[in-house]
Structure 1
Amino acid sequence: MKNTHRPGRLCLTFAAAAVFAALAAPTWAQLRIGQTAGFSGPVAAGVKETTEGAKLYFDAINAKGGINGQKIELESLDDKFDPKLAAENARTLIINRQVLSLFLTRGTPHTQAIMPLLDEFKVPLVGPSTGAMALHKPVHPWLFNVRATYQREAERAVQHLSLIGIDRIGVVHVDDSFGADLLEGAQKGFSSVSKQPLFIEKFDRAKPDFSRIAPIAASSGAQAVLFIGSGVAVTDGIAEIRKAGSRAQIITNSNNASGGFIKSLGANAPGTIVTQVFPNERSLAAPIVKEADDLAKAKGLEGLSPAMLEGFAAAKVLVAGLQRAGDNPTRAKLREALEGLKKLDLGGLELSYSPTDHTGLEFVDLSIVDASGRFRR
């Protein structure tokens, strides 16, 4: 009699094991990708453009049948550029939405707030829209950068100003980990040209106030001001510096390389220098630009912005990882596939990862906003 019940018990055992296995190592009928970024708040213009650039590529892949018959689904949540909300959104995407990967976060303290979750849940993050050195060194096993570091941008900016004969350079930076990171890069630039900053002033990220800083910039006789900040805070700060009477050359970083940023500058846009981490978005000789431009035109878009190109490149890297992760991708398989990318041609830009290097690209250039409100190289 005992034997007559054994098959049923085995069936139950196997069923329980199957349920456990499904919970422990989920697979995805759709390739659900999670994003948290500031779709509202001070960096909304840039976030919307980077996301639009990523969707250009995802939509093109989906139109061809997706990856191994699976469509890419990008689920985006608004964190209002708040690091605490960014972490909460990431947790929701990982646990409740069971995303295969996180993607295209925005902000240094915001991404840092998410990083512990990558370790806890063993989930990759691809293409954070920040060049903070803390995301590069030490190498985080679940985080894959696509763009160059902020420190290299700031260093190059100071070197450029020195090269064109500008010696009196002030620095204004946001008082957070992002600002401290770029300041370190700027200091490397000053050291490389044997100069010292004319002044270094910082402002609060949550409540920026330039009433004290603007007169300092004007009275110091600064020939240039390296303005380290994001979105609205930078445009407001530049406006205050101009009202105070300073005609200093303004130079800021690639996190502000969006068409929306130029529009928000208004009359202060022409002549502003913005560092860039991707090729000229109008240089169709660059294959990645030509590819993105063709897709943008097919959708009826007016053209590309540097921010759109950043999102497009990040999407290409994620897709390359997904294509190599097999028919039934898991988070672990995706991480392994990404780390195995070697000499990936993004279209004139070559990207490689390894267990000791998750930097991605190191391209840095400078642009200036012309009288028509466009970036010029």
Structure 2
Amino acid sequence: MKQVGRWAAVALGLCVSLAAQAQILIGQTAGFSGAVAAGVKETTDGAKLYLDAINAQGGVNGQKIELIQMDDKFDPKLAAENAKVLITEKNVAALFLARGTPTTQAIMPLLEQYKVPLIGPSSGAMVLHKPVNPWVFNVRATYQREAERAVQHLSLIGIERIGVIHVDDSFGGDLLEGAKKGFAAVAKNPVFVEKYDRAKWDFSKIAPLVASSDVQAVLFMGSGNGVVDGVAAIRKAGSRAQIVTFSNNASGGFVKSLKENARGVIVTQVFPYERSLAAPIVKEAHDYAVAKGLEGVTPAMLEGYAAAKVLVIALRRAGASPSRQKIQQALESMNKVDLGGLELSFSPTDHTGLEFVDLSIIGQDGKFRR
């Protein structure tokens, strides 16, 4: 009996060991603190709505997905360090939902070096789309398309005098290129183009310029707290210009940070209206959110939710042992995949995924309206 007991204990220990190993490790480095923390939290919360639901159903091919997260504070150097730890020490099968253009650029050399796919970077930078990086898989439209559409919309509703403020980094430069295309398309020029430092912003000179120039609208290309402080400075200087910012700021946390300056701010969007339950992806995400005690989802949550769906589809297609290369191959095989009213396609020559762009305005109730 003692011998049987020992064998039973060994068997039990082996089962526990195998169960512990039966997980798919996915890595995320993002600014969970710092200037973009509110947006990062909401995007990640959206992803977890779907990942938690999949894990509750038994996971993917019998393996649960474990998301290993590291805070890079929106700092490119720290993002690269985190990514290396996730890849070489944590042995993640893929990276997921990196946040920001400079931070994502900082980890791209590691993707090629270690042959690791990055799924759903929360950035619409053109550098992540063209030339096609074999290891980067986007699940959203480009920033350039957003900026181009914003300028065209303002022109269409009769706004003639438009200024541009952009953060002085690759993200801001990318959006600026899109805005230039928009201005060219409507045969207009910006009244001014001003830039600010991404780490130590100061709007003491820019805000009075906005007020004295009498512009009707300002395209504000920046992230989180930088935009919040800039808008406050512009309003304090006396300007009532229409503020337009972009999908990287499409979070409830950003709206709350704006406080009394939120109402009337236009924010471009890269996913369907988050309160339109007629859209299957919105209805699905909304139901999971309500089941967790939430009121619903935000645009940022939808971005994370869609990225998580793409991740799970890739893992399923990669088979029982989803290696990094198998996941990459599975992603490139996706053609006209329905995410719930949104059709996503990848190929070896196109890693854009989705091209949906729309505009919203923040209402008196602090909600995005379209």
TM range (shorter): over 0.9
Which residue of structure 2 aligns with residue 133 of structure 1? 126
C-alpha RMSD of matched pairs (Å): 0.5
- The one-character-per-residue Cα deviations of 1:17-36 (angstroms, maximum 9, x if unpaired) are xxxxxxxxxxx731100000
- The one-character-per-residue Cα deviations of 1:260-313 (angstroms, maximum 9, x if unpaired) are 000000000000000000000000000000000000000111221000000000
1:367 to 2:360 alignment:
yes
Q: Give the Cα–Cα distance (whole angstroms) in 1 for the partners of residues 70 and 241 of structure 2.
A: 38
Q: Give the Cα–Cα distance (whole angstroms) in 2 for the partners of residues 71 and 199 of structure 1.
A: 52
From 214, 221, 234, the counterpart of 1:241: 234
Q: Give the Cα–Cα distance (whole angstroms) in 2 for the partners of residues 369 and 47 of structure 1.
A: 20
Unaligned runs of 5+ in 2: 1-20
Q: Does the aligned pair in 1 maintain the 2:22–2:62 contact within 8 Å?
A: no
Which residue of structure 2 aligns with residue 285 of structure 1? 278
SS of corresponding position for 2:268: strand
Which residue of structure 2 aligns with residue 227 of structure 1? 220
Q: Give the Cα–Cα distance (whole angstroms) in 1 for the partners of residues 132 and 142 of structure 2.
A: 13
Q: Give the Cα–Cα distance (whole angstroms) in 2 for the partners of residues 326 and 226 of structure 1.
A: 45
Q: Deviation of residue 349 (structure 1)?
A: 0.1
Which residue of structure 2 aligns with residue 206 of structure 1? 199
Q: Give the Cα–Cα distance (whole angstroms) in 1 for the partners of residues 162 and 229 of structure 2.
A: 20
The 4+ residue runs of structure 1 with deviation greater than 4 A are none
Which residue of structure 1 aligns with residue 208 of structure 2? 215
- The one-character-per-residue Cα deviations of 1:132-167 (angstroms, maximum 9, x if unpaired) are 000000000011000000000000000000000001
Q: Give the Cα–Cα distance (whole angstroms) in 2 for the partners of residues 245 and 154 of structure 1.
A: 25
- Answer with 1 or 2: which has the greater Rg: 1
1:101 to 2:94 alignment:
yes
The correspondence of residues 114-129 of structure 1 with structure 2, limited to 5 A, is 114-129=107-122
Q: Does the aligned pair in 1 maintain the 2:271–2:356 contact within 8 Å?
A: yes
1:38 to 2:31 alignment:
yes
The correspondence of residues 315-334 of structure 1 with structure 2, limited to 5 A, is 315-334=308-327
1:179 to 2:187 alignment:
no
SS of corresponding position for 1:139: coil
From 150, 158, 167, the counterpart of 1:165: 158
SS of corresponding position for 1:99: coil
1:91 to 2:84 alignment:
yes
The normalised TM-score by structure 1 is: 0.92
Which residue of structure 1 aligns with residue 252 of structure 2? 259
1:59 to 2:52 alignment:
yes
Kindly tell me the number of residue pairs found equivalent between the two proteins.
Answer: 350
AA of the residue aligned to 1:31: I
Unaligned runs of 5+ in 1: 1-27
Q: Give the Cα–Cα distance (whole angstroms) in 1 for the partners of residues 143 and 270 of structure 2.
A: 9
